[in-house]
Amino acid sequence: MGKDKSQGIQRQRVYNVLQNNTAKLHNELWLENGMGSAVWSNSHGCASYDKPGHHTLSFYLEGGHNTKRNLQTGDMFGGENKLSLMPIDHRSDWSFADPFSFYHLYFEQAHLQHFAEQVFDKEGRHIELKERTFVDDPFITQFVRETMLKLDWSDSTDGLMASHAQQMVLLHLIRQHCHQPLYKALSVSGLSPANQRKVMDYIEANLPFSFR
Domain carrying residue 105: 3-211
The CATH code of the domain that includes 178 is 2.60.120.10
Q: What is the pLDDT of residues 103-162, one digit of tens each?
A: 999 999 999 999 888 888 777 778 899 999 999 999 999 999 999 999 999 999 999 999
Residue 55 has pLDDT above 90, yes or no: yes
CB 122 within 8 A of CB 182: yes
pTM over 0.75, yes/no: yes
- Cα–Cα dist 64/197, whole Å: 36
Using alpha carbons, select from 47, 94, 48 the residue that is nearest to residue 70. Answer: 94
Using alpha carbons, select from 209, 208, 201 the residue that is nearest to residue 183. Answer: 201
What would the mean pLDDT of 174-192 be, rounded to a whole number?
Answer: 69
Look at 52-61, 68-77, 106-115, 193-202 and tell me which has the smallest mean pLDDT: 193-202
> How many domains in the chain?
1
Predicted pLDDT of residue 124: 73
Across the chain, mean pLDDT equals 85
User: Alpha carbon of 62 to those of 59, 71, 106, 169, 202: distances in Å?
Assistant: 10, 23, 20, 21, 29
Predicted pLDDT of residue 52: 93
What would the mean pLDDT of 91-102 be, rounded to a whole number?
Answer: 95
* CB-CB neighbours of 35 under 10 Å: 23
